[in-house]
Amino acid sequence: MSHRILQITDCHLFADRRELRGIATWPRLEAVLDEIRNRFADFDCLVVTGDTAHDEIEETYVAFREALGDLTERLFLIPGNHDNREAIAKVFPDRCELIDGRLTFQHSLGGWQLIGLDSHIPGEVAGRIGAAQLTWTGGPFCSTQDLHTLIFVHHPPVLIHSRWLDAIRLEDGEVLIELLEQFPNIKLVCCGHVHQESATATSGPLVLTTPAVGPQFRPRTDEIEIDPLPPALRVIDLEPDGTWTTQVVRSEVK
């Protein structure tokens, strides 16, 4: 039996619905959620990979949960650099787990498992997994090598060749990749943070970045440049034999 995973990332919402860089982010989220309900309602899990709130206040997460409605029942989420870990834990105590001060998740789905890692460093834009979480990470991988594995983390553990974004990358990304390469059951790493689509091969899993719900960034630039593309989500179809397919779907804002 195949399973369908949806990923959205980088909504950058404000409780007062203000714009970010001249872009209204709430209508973009609403367009993506309409796309999910109208075209992909039979999905198994919805994973949100960080920067849900830009203002980092609890009211924004409450409004986000209300916008999700019954989609919350199939939700998992991790924080990004703009998020407030404590507020997420308070508003979504049933959709993530606090382990050693990090918001993570692990979910089995047939012959697959989904694992969410927390790369948030309070007050910083770059990310870090950290020694404690890396130690924890090896545990479920080692004990569940019979399960095909899909990893989610906000900051990509690879360079995307955009100077300003690579300067705020996952600081211990190389260490994480070296760890993941030890486990052939790990098939894919899906990330956010960079507001653009990319695919990077490693000696282990393929690393994908997913375009934002909020503003899009032009790829391979030295400084920030807004790309006028519509918001997006990623659809990932997982097969029992460990193979997978994926596509990025963009939603027109009304």
How do the domains of the chain map onto residue ranges? 3-250
* 254 residues of the chain, pLDDT tens digit each: 899 999 999 999 999 999 998 999 999 999 999 999 999 999 999 999 999 999 999 999 999 999 999 999 999 999 999 999 999 999 999 998 888 889 999 999 999 999 999 999 999 999 999 988 888 777 766 667 789 999 999 999 999 999 999 999 999 999 999 999 999 999 999 999 999 999 999 999 999 999 999 999 999 999 999 999 999 999 999 999 999 999 999 999 97
- Per-residue HEC secondary structure of the chain comes to CCEEEEEECCCCECCCCCEECCEEHHHHHHHHHHHHHHHCCCCCEEEEECCCECCCCHHHHHHHHHHHHHHHHHEEEECCCCCCHHHHHHHCCCCCEEECCEEEEEEEECCEEEEECCCCCCCCCCECCCHHHHHHHHHHHHHCCCCEEEEEECCCCCCCCCHHHHCCCECCHHHHHHHHCCCCCEEEEEECCCCCCEEECCCCCEEEECCCCCCEECCCCCCCCEECCCCEEEEEEECCCCCEEEEEEECCCC
User: Which superfamily does CATH assign the domain made up of 3-250 to?
Assistant: Metallo-dependent phosphatases (3.60.21.10)
